């Protein structure tokens, strides 16, 4: 394949019913909610990128999770979470 893995944005993630590649490859998923991370967990994602924590002009239609929301989600899921903090 020539790559270490695959990144699924939140739209692509919703279409996945199973892990699209073998466990030899990393699978990263983007999520905006706990449910999105749980979907990533269900397909065996290696980690999730959760955003936005704060308001961003890049995604004005998405409600920010906030620091408390991030803490709550982090204690609810087994998925390794990375966050994006954009001031765009």
Average of pLDDT values for 58-63?
85
Q: What is the Cα–Cα distance from 20 to 29, expressed in whole angstroms?
A: 12
pLDDT band at 9 (very low <50, low <70, confident <90, very high): very high
- How much is the pLDDT for 27? 96
- How much is the pLDDT for 84? 62
Average of pLDDT values for 5-34?
94
Q: How many CA atoms lie within 13 A of 32 on its CB side?
A: 14
| Helix spans in the chain (H) | 10-15, 34-42, 66-74
pTM equals 0.81
Residue 37 has pLDDT above 60, yes or no: yes
- Torsion sign, CA atoms 71, 60, 6, 43: positive
Residue 59 tokens, joined: 């995604």
Position with higher pLDDT, 86 vs 50 = 50
Residue 81 tokens, joined: 């979470």
């Amino acid at each position: 394949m020539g790559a270490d893995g695959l990144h699924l944005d939140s739209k692509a993630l919703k279409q996945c019913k199973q892990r699209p590649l073998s466990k030899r490859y990393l699978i990263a998923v983007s999520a905006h909610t706990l449910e999105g991370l749980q979907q990533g967990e269900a397909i065996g994602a290696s980690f999730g990128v959760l955003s936005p924590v704060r308001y961003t002009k890049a995604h004005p239609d998405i409600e920010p999770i906030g620091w408390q929301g991030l803490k709550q989600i982090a204690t609810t899921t087994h998925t390794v979470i990375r966050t994006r903090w954009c001031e765009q």
